Amino acid sequence: MQEDSYRHKGMRQQLVQVLKDKGITDNRVLDAIATVPRHVFLDSSFVEFAYQDKAFPIGSGQTISQPFTVAMQSQLLQVTKGMKVLEIGTGSGYQACVLAEMGAKVFTIERQRNLYLKTKPFLAEFPYNIKTFLGDGNRGLPTFAPFDRVLITAAAPEIPQALVDQLKTGGIMVIPLNDESDATKQIMLRLTKQADGTMLREEFGDCRFVPMLKGTGRD
């Protein structure tokens, strides 16, 4: 793993300030972003880009989400220590590390085999409680359910019922749901599972993610 220097730490502090200026207020999220070395998730020649508030390609047509998006989703999720969190779309593994740094036990699913094969051993180098799985996130992980939180980090065409079923009562799902009136964007939703099984719905503006696909991919 690439080293984490004082220069990198300084760049992370600047990124934290940018996120505060953009409205992120949860100090536990900001502390996690100040701690997790985002540059090690990118190829070493791209270190300069790692602490800009931008998404970045990570190969296989996928991206490491923009820091603001990671911060926003983490803040909406209201994670506390010891919670079981299911993440759909492991990608680079950065979001999983931010949640784990906040004290969550993370279960993360990726559908693309090559990304899974790359990210699984990489995440094992961190001192975090993260379990990685290859599969279709639409199905969740029935064996490990129920979860306190579910985070979807790809653009979802619908709310996957299996994931609703695997959420505890009082649990929260954060999901970028396709905007029916505009195919280029999604609406960030926070869904809270009520005692009667229905979902309380809150909307948090537009966002853009790579699509959540069905089945597992070979590439």
Establish if 174 lies at the interface with ligand SAH (CB under 6 A).
no
| Residue nearer to ligand SAH on the CB measure, 112 or 166 | 112
Establish if 89 lies at the interface with ligand SAH (CB under 6 A).
yes
**Paired tokens of 57:** 């390609």
Cβ-proximal residue to ligand SAH, closest one:
89
Kindly state the number of chain residues that form the binding site for ligand SAH, as judged by CB under 6 A: 23
Using the contact rule CB under 6 A, the part of the chain among 28-36, 120-128, 179-187, 209-217 near ligand SAH is: 209-217
Cα 82 off chain centre by: 17
Establish if 37 lies at the interface with ligand SAH (CB under 6 A).
no
| Of positions 65, 74, 166, 178, contacts ligand SAH by CB under 6 A | 65
Which residues, including other chains, have CB under 8 Å from residue 43's CB and lie 6 or more apart?
Answer: none
Is the separation of the CB atoms in 177 and 152 below 8 Å?
A: no
Q: Which amino acid is at 42?
A: L
Whether 45 is catalytic: no
Establish if 138 lies at the interface with ligand SAH (CB under 6 A).
yes
Say which of 65, 74, 92, 181 is annotated catalytic. 65
| Residue nearer to ligand SAH on the CB measure, 65 or 178 | 65
Q: Can you spell out the DSSP letters for 79-118?
A: --TT-EEEEE--TTSHHHHHHHHTT-EEEEEESBHHHHHH
Taken in order 180, 136, 198, 72, the sign of the CA dihedral is negative
| Of positions 19, 38, 136, 188, contacts ligand SAH by CB under 6 A | 136
